[in-house]
């Protein structure tokens, strides 16, 4: 195994976008591709590491950028500045996700007929929006995502299979919100699963949040490990 990566810059709605593409160059031929969508902070090294971990599993992965080249934030008062712009225009967000998916599909290492998406926090919302809008993925995994619906109607039926990995104590996804998501996806004809992890909240996969004192927002090792395994099982099924 020899996992490699390269910077991938592409044009899209509103400018240029920069992410990192990872693959195992020992694997010959095209293989399924996975789009990795970052959290509130935007494209960063942690997302590149997820792409490389997916490459080690035999996929090709693109840790994408939906904010724009050079638009990144740090934790603090300004952390949500670019996410807020995207939340205010979910149609633009959808179009940027479509462009990112096209960039993934265009790589020679990727079987363009077999792609999926995974996302974390804000990225989890993005995965759901890709499915809601009918973008061409076979499946999507949302890790501690945000579940509010966009202003446009869902496609009927939703074709992409969905796995939602949810921390039960997540203050951004209270039980009634999770139930509403299940009702939405059922009404849209989706093939969906929700895995809820006890004693876990928002950001349960984010090792940078170890020791967090924010109520309901912290890293949780068991939920992180179990959800990653659930993702592997899901992708095996989706790409079979």
pLDDT in tens, 33-73: 999 999 999 999 999 999 999 999 999 999 999 999 999 99
Residue whose pair of structure tokens reads 């104590």 in the numeric block:
169
Question: Is 69 strand, coil or helix?
Answer: coil
Which parts of 57-174 fold into alpha helices (H)? 81-87, 90-105, 122-132
* Buried-state track 35-45, b at ≥16 Cβ within 10 A, e below 16: bbbbbbbbbbe
Helix (H) / strand (E) element for 117: namely: strand 110-120
In the chain, DSSP finds a helix count (H) and a strand count (E) of 6, 8
Do 212 and 219 contact (CB within 8 A), yes or no? yes
| Residue 36: per-residue pLDDT | 98
| CA 131 to mean position of chain CA atoms | 11
Rounded distance between C-alpha atoms, residue 206 and residue 224, angstroms: 8
What average pLDDT score do residues 103-121 get? Answer: 98
Model confidence at 1: pLDDT above 80? no
Strands 60-63 and 31-37, by their bridges, are: parallel
Confidence of residue 75 (pLDDT cuts 50, 70, 90): confident
Strands 139-143 and 110-120, by their bridges, are: parallel
Model confidence at 95: pLDDT above 90? yes
Phi and psi, residue 116, nearest 5°: -145, 175
Do 164 and 192 contact (CB within 8 A), yes or no? yes
Full-prediction pTM beyond 0.85? yes
Rounded distance between C-alpha atoms, residue 229 and residue 240, angstroms: 17
Within 10 angstroms of residue 69's Cβ, the number of other Cβ atoms is: 15
| Residue 15: per-residue pLDDT | 95
Q: What tens digit of pLDDT does each residue of 148-205 get?
A: 999 999 999 999 999 999 999 999 999 999 999 999 999 999 999 999 999 999 999 9
Confidence of residue 77 (pLDDT cuts 50, 70, 90): confident
Q: Rounded mean pLDDT of the chain? A: 97
How many percent of the chain have pLDDT more than 90? Answer: 96
Q: Find the radius of gyration of the CA atoms of the chain.
A: 16
Using CA atoms, how far residue 45 sits from 140, 186, 234, in Å, is 21, 36, 25
């Amino acid at each position: 195994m020899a996992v490699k990566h390269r910077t991938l810059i592409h044009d899209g709605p509103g400018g240029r976008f920069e992410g990192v593409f990872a693959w195992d160059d020992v694997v010959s031929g095209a293989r399924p591709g996975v789009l990795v969508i970052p959290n509130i902070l935007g494209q960063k090294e942690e997302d590149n590491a997820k792409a490389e971990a997916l490459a080690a599993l035999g996929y090709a992965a693109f840790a994408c950028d939906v904010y724009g080249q050079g638009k990144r934030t740090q934790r603090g008062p300004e952390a949500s500045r670019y996410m807020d712009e995207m939340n205010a225009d979910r149609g633009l967000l959808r179009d940027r996700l479509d462009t990112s998916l096209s960039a993934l599909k265009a790589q020679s290492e990727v079987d363009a007929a077999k792609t999926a998406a995974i996302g974390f926090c804000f990225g989890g919302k993005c995965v759901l929006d890709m499915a809601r809008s009918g973008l061409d993925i076979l499946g999507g995994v949302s890790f501690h995502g945000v579940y509010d619906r966009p202003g446009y109607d869902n496609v009927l039926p939703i074709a992409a299979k969905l796995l939602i990995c949810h921390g039960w104590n997540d203050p951004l996804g209270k039980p009634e919100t999770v139930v509403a998501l299940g009702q939405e996806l059922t009404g849209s004809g989706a093939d969906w699963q929700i895995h809820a992890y006890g004693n876990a909240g928002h950001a349960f996969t984010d090792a940078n949040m170890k020791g967090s004192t924010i109520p309901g927002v912290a890293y949780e090792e068991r939920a992180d490990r179990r959800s990653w395994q659930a993702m592997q099982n899901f992708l095996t099924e989706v790409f079979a």
